[in-house]
Amino acid sequence: MARASLRDSILEAGLKVMVRKGYAGAGVRDIVAEAPAPQGSFTNHFRSKEEFAREVLDLYFARLKRLVAEALDDGGLSPRERLRRYLDIITRRLAGDEFSRGCLIGDFSLEAAAQSETLRARLGEIFAEWRSPFAACIAEGQAIGEIDGAFAPEELAEFLLSSWEGAILRMKVERNGEPLERFKRIAFATTFRDPSK
């Protein structure tokens, strides 16, 4: 029990430190200090920083999926409104950190994918899994004529999530929400406009 909980504390600490400092920038020393945990406990619980980072990424994605479900499973909203709701939920989260921290999936895609084949492969799986409920929501929107049907739902879902990562990237430089709001304004008036209106 105690060991399992120490392991969890180190993972939680890893998530905090890696969102702040990136993959290469997050030292094991910083992570155990954040937990806090004895220095030796890291190697007792994790085979390598790479394996550890994969678990941290999985922890991050598990939580993100709850936010995806919160937005996309909301039966009171139309498909297009649900997409918008997701982006608003994430905006609120990012605002909570004063727009200084981004998305670990995006951070690792740019920084860690080139350093670690394990992380790159996992990121590929994560993007595919992440895209899937968005593609389903977009397909539903297309079926009722609320979203243009010129592109396949998977294509539009990829476009939405990767462009959104671009807006988060821009936000990290500006340290305000304007790049996120701009993205929503333009995307929902063009690519995701309601063609029936």
**Angle at the Cα of 94 from the Cα atoms of 88 and 97, rounded to 5 degrees:** 150
- State the nearest-atom distance from the C-beta of 151 to its own copies, in Å: 6
- State the nearest-atom distance from the C-beta of 129 to its own copies, in Å: 13
168, amino acid identity:
I
- State the nearest-atom distance from the C-beta of 58 to its own copies, in Å: 16
- The residue among 13 and 167 lying less far from its own copies, judged by its C-beta, is 167
Q: Is 98 left (phi over 0), alpha (psi -120 to 50) or beta?
A: left
- The residue among 88 and 181 lying less far from its own copies, judged by its C-beta, is 181
Round to whole Å and give the CA distance between 152 and 157: 9
List all residues 6 or more positions away from 103 whose beta carbon is below 8 Å from its beta carbon: 64, 90, 165, 168
- Chain residues that interact with its own copies, rule: CB under 8 A: 20-25, 100-102, 106-107, 109-111, 113-115, 120, 123-124, 127, 148, 150-151, 155-156, 158-159, 162-167, 169-170, 172-175, 179, 182-183, 185-187, 189-191
- State the nearest-atom distance from the C-beta of 8 to its own copies, in Å: 25
Any idea which residue has 């120490």 for tokens? 6
Round to whole Å and give the CA distance between 161 and 14: 24
- The residue among 55 and 111 lying less far from its own copies, judged by its C-beta, is 111
- The residue among 24 and 33 lying less far from its own copies, judged by its C-beta, is 24
- State the nearest-atom distance from the C-beta of 2 to its own copies, in Å: 33
- The residue among 35 and 126 lying less far from its own copies, judged by its C-beta, is 126
11 contacts 104 by C-beta, under 8 angstroms: no
